Amino acid sequence: MTTDAALTARRSRFGAVLPAVWYDRDTRVVARALLGTVLECRTEEGVASGRIVETEAYLGGDDPACHAAVGLTERNRHLHGPPGIAYVYRIYGAHWCFNAVTEPAGKGSAVLVRALEPLVGIEIMRRRRPAARRDIDLTSGPGKLCAALGIVGAHDGLPLQRPPLVIRAGTPVPDDAVEVTPRIGITRAAEWPLRFLVRDNPWVSRTPGHFFRRRFEG
């Protein structure tokens, strides 16, 4: 699995913003390595960002849960694109989900970002997420974090190396703090261990039967 050392090396060589080639490798490796990095979105409202604490890998090819499994369609066209770009799609007609495309173009692989720890623009996030009674509810889910950051369909296909969408190196997460579980909210290949999260982090999404111990009031 990958490594904070590699991340550090990349950081010194490329600067804080993760370069497109950084995503050009095994999707599981990227999913793990994205933990601790910072996702930022700039809009006319301002800048909002958060530290990634939960991801899921979706593998092109044999993964029946990946959108690429249905082949190339209008909706998933950027999922088949080059690595280091955004794949943003609407789910349940109401919410947006954000992915970072991985592996060489044509593979149809990506990492879904499922939860963030808010860093910058918390007031903006509160405004965008009026239903969130506590700050813990601002970004603890794939649809929630898109709403909080202002990520919408217009961001589909954009690179992740310059505004409005940027992923940069953050505080590394050591291997012993990484937990791997089955993915959430899917029916096919649901048992595959492709969900990565920061152990005991209060900002991860709520999963049935696994609720938080700690209370966080906004």
Partner DNA sequence: CATTTGATGTTCT
Partner DNA sequence: GAACATCAAATGC
With beta carbons less than 8 A apart as the criterion, state whether 88 and 155 touch. yes
User: Does 212 engage in binding with DNA (CB under 7 A)?
Assistant: yes
Contacts with DNA by CB under 7 A: the residue count is 43
Measured distance CA(28)–CA(1) in Å, rounded = 8
Structure tokens at 91: 């789910």
Residues 9-68 contacting DNA, CB under 7 A:
56, 58, 65-67
Q: Which of 19, 157, 185, 202 binds DNA (CB under 7 A)?
A: 185
Return the number of the residue (69 or 119) whose C-beta is nearest DNA: 69
The span from the CA of 163 to the CA of 185, in Å, is: 30
- Residue 140 · residue 113 · CB < 8 Å: no
- What is the closest distance, in whole angstroms, from the C-beta atom of residue 158 to DNA in the complex? 16
Q: Which is nearer to DNA, 127 or 188 (CB)?
A: 188
Least separation in angstroms between residue 215's CB and DNA is 5
The distance in angstroms from the start CA to the end CA of the chain is 35
Site for DNA in 138-167 (CB under 7 A): 141-145
Residue closer to DNA, measured from CB, 40 or 156? 156
Contacting residue, 73, 127, 180, 200, with DNA by CB under 7 A: 73
Sole binder of DNA in the list 62, 94, 123, 217 (CB under 7 A): 94
Pick between residue 13 and residue 209 the one whose CB is nearest to DNA.
209
Task: Determine the number of helices (DSSP H) and then strands (DSSP E) in the chain.
Answer: 4, 9
Residue 182 preceded by cis peptide, ω within 30: no
Report, in this order, helix, strand and coil percent for the chain, each rounded to 5. 25, 30, 45
d(CA 182, CA 203): 18
**Minimum distance from residue 167 beta carbon to DNA (Å):** 15
Residue from 62, 131, 191, 217 binding DNA (CB under 7 A): 131
Distance, in Å, from the CA atom of 214 to the CA atom of 218, rounded to the nearest integer, reads 13
Q: Which residues form the interface with DNA (CB under 7 A)?
A: 56, 58, 65-67, 70, 73-76, 79, 87, 90-95, 97, 99, 110, 112, 129, 131-132, 137, 141-145, 183-188, 205, 208-209, 211-212, 215
